[in-house]
Structure 1
């Protein structure tokens, strides 16, 4: 039976030709980046504090797109990846929190099936017996590994878990885990809502009108926004945000707090973590935005909301 292939809003095509791939690799070989300067680890990690927290809202950046979100008494992990390598590239920084230091996890939310966002080697070591909220098309990959508590979602599907509302929202991206499964599962972000807070985990995306559509349906307090893997821009623009486009998307959403993620952990494209932060800072200053709304976490740092 022919498998369904998912698409972006406005059917934006993210496919690249072999010629474009060769051009990118040639450019990469011609401009080597210094990867020795990395995003710092937080000097004072609050592991003991969040290990027992079941009342306050907090966000801990573990690295890349992996965050521990504590809201409404739940422990939630986004796109759990503790892998030491991604393809041929070594991880640039160790995770901000070791797997053994995590509390028991109630919910795992997955944005899409790329290996830097979904690592089953990590998942099998998570504490607890979590429920998995995944894009449509991914459930079978969990079930074949023995995971039963798996809920699939289409764009704008919502459901309530322990008095907390989860909604799967669009992103502009693509996915692939094998030679034959390109776009056979979907991709997107998750909005998590309690009575007091709303947190939008954007996942992985290029800039798109979806931010404006989401703003029409939701009030967003805190945005976990990707800012890395954008260079070369002619190759990446449909699938990844530049720091400038990340700010534009945040303003579309009318968010209150911007937390950058998806940078400085793996060398997936030709930009570096410090470059992404420098461009983000420059855009924030250029637009004269309130500095208190930008929360750049160190790896392993916790923000209490």
Structure 2
């Protein structure tokens, strides 16, 4: 019996690149690697641990690094794509996590966008304290149960679950997934929209190439307060575009989903492609200026920094 494989919304291939393309990129990367400047990394700030460990009423978003956030909403501590790993394959982390695992408050919910190693690090997940109810893409539940995590729920695109006043909806992305040679695309990929009556609506995009699904997300939800959007791992674009958006397309997607604030992520932690943190930020700023997007709409978090929400969902640091 043929194993079920998940596919993208559009015609973009939902798999790793063809062998010829992969070989071409590896050759280009080898030639250009030494010329890449990684000296300018995302700064770390001292996190407000007392606030994070005691807050049960105020909505907040804290960037740990890469695609890992601590989101506090309706008394829940929510972690996205848990990765505290000090290495990714042979590459050392460029900057330490913004909040160390030992300093994290007990975690109630873990949201996983897909099963790639830079978005799901099992050792990190095991070390997190708390109930750790996992909400994962369709096809991933049994794997997580087999790994010893008892509280797992899986969703397909547009399905939702509500917990303690927060509604979590799994929304489409354009990507693919694999953890071994034999499990390519046997679980899904996507983003998450978090809604509550007492706080902001937050969209966590996961990993994605640019696609029409961003407009559909904007149409269905009407108003999103904060979009956590990836801006890294896009070079070379002839190779990466189907699976990772560029900074320019990230701003395009931000407009598509009709969000108020844009928070960049998925850059500055690991060397996943040929772009550098400085490349990503310079291109993001140039496109912001070209599109005449107000500077205060782009919320540039440092590792360990917290974005807080006052009455009426207005933002303050």
Normalising TM by the smaller chain, what interval?
over 0.9
| Structure 1 position 36, deviation (Å) | 2.4
Structure 1 stretches of 5 or more lacking a match? Answer: none
| Structure 1 position 14, deviation (Å) | 4.3
Determine the structure 1 residue equivalent to 2:228: 224
| Structure 1 position 2, deviation (Å) | 2.4
Indicate which of 214, 218, 222 corresponds to 1:215: 218
Determine the structure 2 residue equivalent to 1:138: 140
| Contact 2:171–2:217 (CA under 8 A) maintained in structure 1 | yes
> 1:1-305 counterparts in 2 under 5 A?
1-15=1-15, 16-32=17-33, 33-42=36-45, 44-195=46-197, 196-218=199-221, 219-305=223-309
| Structure 1 position 38, deviation (Å) | 1.2
TM-score by length of 1: 0.98
How far does the alpha carbon of each residue in 1:205-229 deviate from its partner, in whole angstroms, 9 at most, with x for none? 0000000111111021100000000
| Structure 1 position 147, deviation (Å) | 1.4
TM-score by length of 2: 0.94
| Contact 2:117–2:179 (CA under 8 A) maintained in structure 1 | yes
Aligned length: 304
Instruction: Indicate the SS of the match to 2:136.
Output: strand
| Structure 1 position 113, deviation (Å) | 0.3
Cα distance in 1 between the residues matched to 2:286 and 2:94: 24
Instruction: Indicate the SS of the match to 2:127.
Output: coil
Moved more, 7-16 or 150-159: 7-16
Aligned CA RMSD, in angstroms, stands at 0.9
Structure 2 stretches of 5 or more lacking a match? Answer: 310-317
